[in-house]
A and B are shown apart, each in its own frame.
Chain A
Amino acid sequence: MKKIRLATIWLDGCSGCHMSILDMDEKLIEIAEYVDVVYSPYVDTKEFPSDVDLTIVEGALSTDHDIKMIKKIRANSKYILGLGDCAITGNISAMKNLFGSEAVLQRSYGELADTNASGVYPSKIVPKLLDKVLPLHEVIKVDYFLPGCPTPSDAIYAMLRSLIEGKEINISDYTRFGK
């Protein structure tokens, strides 16, 4: 049997959902029989590969880099699974939308900075913040959604199993926003 080429990535998120993936513990071994992890924070691949079957995306989109990345992911992946509230609603990452990117930069590089006499924001090394943090599906087509903060590992397991077996599940049985 050909293994599923699986990628995972975290964009503007806290990595909590990736922790949840690891929290599957012994079930990871079971999943590993079916998947080949071709790109992930867990593995050392520099470039996002082509011909990915499923990409699990954690986190929201908050920089120009995120946008470029997610478009590439979409182009290279057959299916995309939005993992966790940040990817689906913007969640904590999107709370800065209430104040705007300018206010956030001002706070972090001005008011709270110990050594930034010039008060200038870095513009070269770090990616540029978008005006608004966006959930994935406002930019690209997302095929599956699995909410939670972080998404419980049981839910991730059930979702992966259902995708592997081609069965439908009611994800509300496993998780919801904020769980």
Chain B
Amino acid sequence: MIREKVRVKSFKINGIDVTGASNQTILEIAQENNIEISTLCYLKGLSCVGSCRMCIVEVKGSDKLIPSCTSKIKEGMEVTTDSARIKANREMILSMLFSERTHTCSVCVSNGNCELQDKSTELRLEHSQVPYGHARFEIDASHKNFVNDPNRCILCSRCIRVCDEIEGAHALDLMGRGMDTRIIHDMDEPWAESLSCTSCGKCVYVCPTGALYEKDISAEEAEKKRNIIMELLERKVEQ
């Protein structure tokens, strides 16, 4: 198949002139130019799925809100990343993420080291705009080193992607639909019994919340060893 050749494109983000290659995304170019766009499911080096919808932006001429992590740049496009409309939508989406499961920060291993929490300060959201759901999910603590607590999961699917794309094991995937969706190992086996899991811990290190965490460590140690995995991901980007 003849794919379009990579070309340089010039366009605007928030009125600032920027350029990038035609195979790059709006988010990548924004980051290169130090224009901040909130992200949550995005992790550099992993494939982009556009599922959390935090990174939505407006493009002039369209009344749609599109995720910047999956949208390729186009010549002459005018992108806005922080209009009142975008902010309002982002706040509502963040509220939804806080409300759908049970995020009790005060008793969470990731308290103070959680990307969901960070979003609340970033967007200055001090209360959820929608009622809380409080559905209960069983915790899987069968693995000798790690725990999977779906009650803190925001279904960003980073763990699935890192396991598939970096570790090459694809031990994790999704099960169920809608609000019942959860991360499973193999065919919904307990984590300890998963035959494909290599216990490498990458899923734990990329998890933005306290849904996947290490056992038997003190609160001080609970900071995720993101640098290990980030190095791997950087290499992947360079390839």
Contact = CB atoms under 8 A, between A and B. Distances in A.
Direct contact of A and B (CB under 8 A): yes
Interface of A: 82, 85, 88-92, 94-95, 97-99, 132, 134-135, 137-138, 142, 145-147, 149, 170-172, 176-179
16 contacts: A85-B106, A91-B106, A92-B104, A95-B102, A98-B102, A98-B134, A98-B136, A99-B136, A134-B131, A172-B122, A172-B124, A176-B120, A176-B121, A177-B120, A178-B108, A178-B111
Contacts of A98: 102, 134, 136, 151
A94 B134 contact: yes
B126 interface: yes
A179 B112 CA distance: 7
Contact of B117 (A88, A97, A99, A177): A177
A170 B127 contact: no
A89 B121 contact: no
A92 B122 CA distance: 24
| Best-buried of B117, B127, B134 by chain A (most CB within 10 Å) | B127
A132 B136 CA distance: 13
A145 B127 contact: yes
B122 to A, nearest CB: 8
Given A92-B106, A98-B102, A178 B117 contact: yes
Nearest to A96: B134
Contacts of A138: 131-132
B134 to A, nearest CB: 4
The 10 closest A-B pairs by CB, nearest first: A178-B105, A149-B106, A97-B134, A172-B121, A145-B126, A98-B136, A177-B105, A178-B111, A145-B127, A178-B106
Contacts, number: 75
Report whether over half of chain B's contact residues are helix, strand or loop; otherwise say mixed. Answer: loop
B146 interface: no
Interface string B120-151: 11101011100110101000000000000001
A176 B127 CA distance: 10
A130 B157 CA distance: 35
Nearest to A93: B104
Interface in B76-122: 98, 102-108, 111-112, 117, 120-122
Contacts of B128: 89, 135
Nearest to A138: B131
B98 A89 contact: yes
Contact of B132 (A92, A135, A146, A171): A135
Nearest to B98: A89
B136 A90 contact: no
A92 B107 contact: yes
Nearest to B101: A98
Given A142-B127, A146-B126, A172-B124, 15 more contacts: A89-B103, A89-B104, A89-B132, A90-B132, A92-B106, A95-B107, A97-B102, A97-B132, A134-B131, A135-B128, A145-B127, A172-B121, A176-B117, A178-B111, A178-B112
Contacts of A137: 127
Nearest to B126: A145
A132 B134 contact: yes
A97 B136 CA distance: 9
A85 B111 CA distance: 13
A172 B134 CA distance: 25
Nearest to A179: B112
A70 B117 CA distance: 28
A98 B111 CA distance: 20
Given A89-B127, A172-B124, A149 B105 contact: yes
A138 B105 CA distance: 19
Nearest to A144: B126
A172 B127 CA distance: 12
Given A94-B132, A97-B134, A178-B111, A85 B105 contact: yes
